[in-house]
Amino acid sequence: MEKDFFVHPNALVESENIGAKTRIWAFAHVLKGAVIGEDCNLCDYVFVENEVKIGSRVTIKNGISIWDGLEIEDDVFLGPNAAFTNDMFPRSKRHSGNYLKTLLKKGASVGANATILCGITLGRYCLVGAGAVVTKSIPDFALVTGNPARFRYWVSRTGEKLQFDANNCAVDSENNKYKLLKATDPKETDRVIEA
């Protein structure tokens, strides 16, 4: 059967669970159990472990390892050398196999050299700045930067800073509409939804 995805001759791809139009470039290694969606781009020196699920239209730039416990939804962007973990207390030669789950929701973007600790969720269309160290979950449409990563402002699907009016509504350059929901309980946080 002819493959409907591209694998560079210098890549090692053991999985057959790869969607149409996906491109896997030189020196990438995809283990047998990995599942990769359609129209993805895995650049040079990407490593994908067995128990990983990657959605469609995902871009994984050079030098990234995707470990067991990580799930990536559709339309996610991972900048060069972003780092992920799957064990909060790693020790050499001690592998529990009980990896903390990390979820990157649809449209999330992670900047170059950012570090994402395990057991958290990156919300829909959130934006992690380059070099940030993310230690806790990020809400949908939030932009975070720094070490540890802190909320800076809200962004749209297109990555633009959202400017909310008196009714807590905003519109981006592609006419997508958003609503800022202010927290009423001190235990909750503000959040943005699509209107």
Give the per-residue pLDDT at 165: 98
Give the per-residue pLDDT at 99: 84
DSSP output for 137-180? -B-TTEEEETTTTEEEEEB-TTSPBP---TTSEEE-TT--EEEE
Does the pLDDT value for residue 83 go beyond 80? Answer: yes
Sheet holding 47-48, edge to edge: 12-13, 29-30, 47-48, 65-66
Whether residue 37 contacts residue 57, with contact meaning beta carbons closer than 8 Å, is answered with yes
- 31-74 pLDDT tens trace: 999 999 999 999 999 999 999 999 999 999 999 999 999 999 99
Does the pLDDT value for residue 129 go beyond 80? Answer: yes
Whether residue 24 contacts residue 45, with contact meaning beta carbons closer than 8 Å, is answered with no
Segment 4-30 shows an average pLDDT of 97
| pTM, full prediction | 0.94
The partner residues of 104 in beta bridges, in order of sequence, read 72, 122
**Residue 175 backbone dihedrals phi, psi, to 5 degrees:** 70, 20
Mean pLDDT, all residues of the chain: 95
Per DSSP bridges, beta strands 121-122 and 102-104 are: parallel
- CA dihedral angle for residue 108, residue 45, residue 81, residue 84, rounded to 10 degrees: 60
Per DSSP bridges, beta strands 142-145 and 150-154 are: antiparallel
